[in-house]
């Protein structure tokens, strides 16, 4: 996925008694190994095997907050289609019949010579189509444009939610990798302590060592076993937290296919990262869409003062009962000019202006936050990279010191106090190395999130 090459310390010969698992741990810090990003797989024992990319995709596919954001996007799409429907023609079929009887004298207001006083009853019917279309209504058009930007805002909110969930998964995955690396280091130190305790016993039997040397080595062995128990507990809790984020069944076994190692460091200045963050952060995209929506709503409110033009028409067949029908139609063009709206327009314009001002202030805050997050992430990334180099050298030096102390103890020129101290120094160096690698990976993730590229960087 990505690689980072630390500055190589001076070559150090590792003695043959150093356990093989310790060698494997040291070698694992050189490169990041990642299995192909396929779907999560299960081992024969039922344990789920996950890469970081698979964990992210699983979380994004199962997390209820992501599903809720998708529903919000779908609802905003429905609102957009409803706003567009107001601009489209409406066509309806109609059919009805009537039975009429009229008093002509009452209709005309006076008796009319030559006409009967009552007409009917008679039956008649009509059927046909009725259509209506808005030819000019700026308010409806701007409301439709506002709904489009509202949908863009919902999509940006969805992206922001995905980035948030991805950040949680990445952080928990790295914590689990750190715990696993600590367990491996602890197992290596326990194996080493057992070997040195056995050496102290042999030295005592041969008369070279003392009982005190044996007690010190056994005490160191118990200390390393206690550290291993703590590391194993941290591994269990870290994997359980990851399973919770992935919505797995409680008790599901998880095996991580990636290893804790140094990633590739990004190349570029603060300004490069800052401009990338301004262009790709979903929070800023959401604010841009909200501002455009508010602008269109303000123009829609102002459009309520403008005339609207509507065309309507009917076409059908009309006939008396038992008589052939005749084709009829009616076309009308209506112009509506608002004269007084009772303050509706001014209130809606004021509301839209307030929303625009609110968005502008929020954008200022987010832009400042983006700059701050990038500065902090870059500083921590650079510091962590140096810490990795220093910790690698410290591991090599502490390993050499342990070798020299063991040789001195075997030769009988010193007791095992130096050896115990060297064991402690190696343990601290290993812990510092694991912590430095964790901080380096987390800082890289923080920088990716600050520039709005967290999901695209880790989930590919």
Report whether pLDDT(6) > 90. Answer: no
The share of the chain scoring above pLDDT 70, in percent, equals 90
Mean pLDDT of 9-15: 36
Residue 169 lies in a domain: yes
- Band of the pLDDT at 32, cuts 50, 70, 90? very low
Q: Say what the pLDDT of residue 374 is.
A: 95
Q: Say what the pLDDT of residue 256 is.
A: 93
Are 61 and 247 spatial neighbours (Cβ–Cβ below 8 Å)?
Answer: no
Q: Specify the DSSP element, H or E, that contains 96.
A: strand 90-103
Report whether pLDDT(187) > 60. Answer: yes
Report whether pLDDT(194) > 60. Answer: yes
pTM: 0.77
Measured CA to CA in angstroms, residue 242 lies from 56, 60, 223, 311, 408 at distances of 10, 13, 29, 62, 46
**Greater model confidence, 356 or 112:** 356
- Band of the pLDDT at 311, cuts 50, 70, 90? very high
Query: pLDDT tens digits, residue range 358-393?
Result: 999 999 999 999 999 999 999 999 999 999 999 999
- Band of the pLDDT at 81, cuts 50, 70, 90? very high
The share of the chain scoring above pLDDT 90, in percent, equals 54
Residue 53 lies in a domain: yes
Residue 70 lies in a domain: yes
Report whether pLDDT(37) > 80. Answer: no
Residue 124 lies in a domain: no
Structural domains of the chain, count: 1
Query: pLDDT tens digits, residue range 44-54?
Result: 556 899 999 99
Residue 253 lies in a domain: yes
Residue 386 lies in a domain: yes
- Out of 43-47, 137-141, 208-212, 418-422, least confident range: 43-47
Report whether pLDDT(110) > 90. Answer: no
Question: Crossing angle, helix 417-450 and helix 211-245, to 10 degrees?
Answer: 20
Q: Say what the pLDDT of residue 33 is.
A: 37
The chain-wide mean pLDDT, for the chain, equals 85
Report whether pLDDT(24) > 60. Answer: no
Cα 97–chain centre separation: 61
CATH code of residue 142 = 1.20.1600.10
Residue 352 lies in a domain: yes
- Residue 67 structural domain: 20-94+138-310+344-458
| 157/327 Cα distance (integer angstroms) | 55
Are 189 and 430 spatial neighbours (Cβ–Cβ below 8 Å)?
Answer: yes
| 233/228 Cα distance (integer angstroms) | 9
Residue 82 lies in a domain: yes
Residues 27, 31, 32, 34, CA torsion sign: negative
**Greater model confidence, 390 or 113:** 390
- Band of the pLDDT at 39, cuts 50, 70, 90? low
Measured CA to CA in angstroms, residue 71 lies from 40, 74, 163, 168 at distances of 26, 5, 17, 22
Report whether pLDDT(154) > 70. Answer: yes
Nearest Cα residue to 358 out of 293, 405, 422: 293
Instruction: List CB contacts of 126: < 8 A, sequence separation 6 or more.
Output: 94, 95, 96, 97, 316, 317, 318, 319, 328
């Amino acid at each position: 996925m990505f690689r980072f090459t630390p500055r190589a310390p001076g070559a150090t010969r590792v003695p043959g008694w150093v356990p093989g698992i310790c060698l494997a741990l040291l070698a694992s810090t050189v490169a990041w190994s990642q299995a192909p990003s396929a779907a999560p797989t299960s081992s024969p024992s039922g344990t789920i095997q996950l890469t970081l990319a698979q964990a992210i995709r699983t979380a994004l596919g199962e997390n209820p907050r992501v599903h809720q954001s998708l529903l919000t996007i779908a609802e905003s799409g429905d609102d957009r289609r409803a706003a567009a429907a107001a601009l489209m023609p409406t066509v309806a079929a109609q059919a009805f019949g009537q039975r009429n009887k009229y008093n002509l004298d009452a209709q005309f207001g006076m008796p009319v010579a030559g006409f009967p006083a009552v007409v009917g009853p008679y039956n008649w019917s009509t059927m046909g189509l009725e259509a209506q279309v808005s030819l000019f209504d700026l308010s409806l058009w701007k409301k439709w444009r506002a709904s489009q930007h509202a949908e863009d805002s919902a999509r940006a909110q969805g992206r922001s939610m995905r980035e948030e969930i991805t950040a949680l998964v990445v952080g928990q995955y790295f914590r689990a990798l750190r715990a696993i690396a600590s367990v491996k280091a602890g197992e290596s130190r326990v194996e080493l302590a057992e070997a040195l305790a056995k050496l102290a016993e042999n030295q005592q039997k041969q008369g070279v060592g003392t009982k005190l040397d044996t007690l010190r080595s056994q005490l160191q062995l118990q200390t390393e076993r206690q550290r291993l128990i703590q590391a194993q507990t941290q591994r269990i809790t870290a994997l359980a937290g990851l399973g919770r984020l992935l919505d797995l069944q409680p008790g599901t076994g998880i095996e991580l296919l990636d290893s804790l190692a140094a990633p590739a460091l990004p190349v570029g200045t603060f300004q490069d990262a800052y401009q990338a963050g301004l262009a790709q952060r979903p929070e800023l995209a959401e604010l841009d869409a909200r501002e455009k929506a508010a602008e269109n709503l303000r123009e829609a409110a102002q459009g309520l003062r403008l005339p609207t033009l509507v065309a309507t028409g009917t076409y059908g067949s009309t006939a008396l009962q038992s008589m052939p029908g005749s084709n009829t139609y009616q076309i009308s063009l209506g112009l509506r000019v608002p004269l007084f709206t009772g303050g509706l327009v001014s209130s809606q314009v004021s509301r839209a202006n307030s929303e625009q001002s609110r968005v502008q202030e929020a954008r200022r805050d987010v832009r400042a936050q983006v700059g701050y997050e990038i500065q902090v992430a870059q500083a921590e990334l650079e510091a962590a990279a140096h810490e990795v180099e220093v910790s690698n050298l410290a591991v090599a030096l502490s390993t050499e010191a342990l070798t020299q102390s063991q040789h001195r103890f075997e030769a009988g020129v010193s007791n095992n106090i130096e050896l115990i101290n060297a064991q402690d120094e190696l343990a601290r160096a290993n812990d510092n190395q694991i912590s430095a690698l964790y901080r380096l990976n987390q800082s890289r993730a923080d920088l990716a999130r600050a520039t709005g590229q967290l999901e695209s960087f880790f989930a590919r």
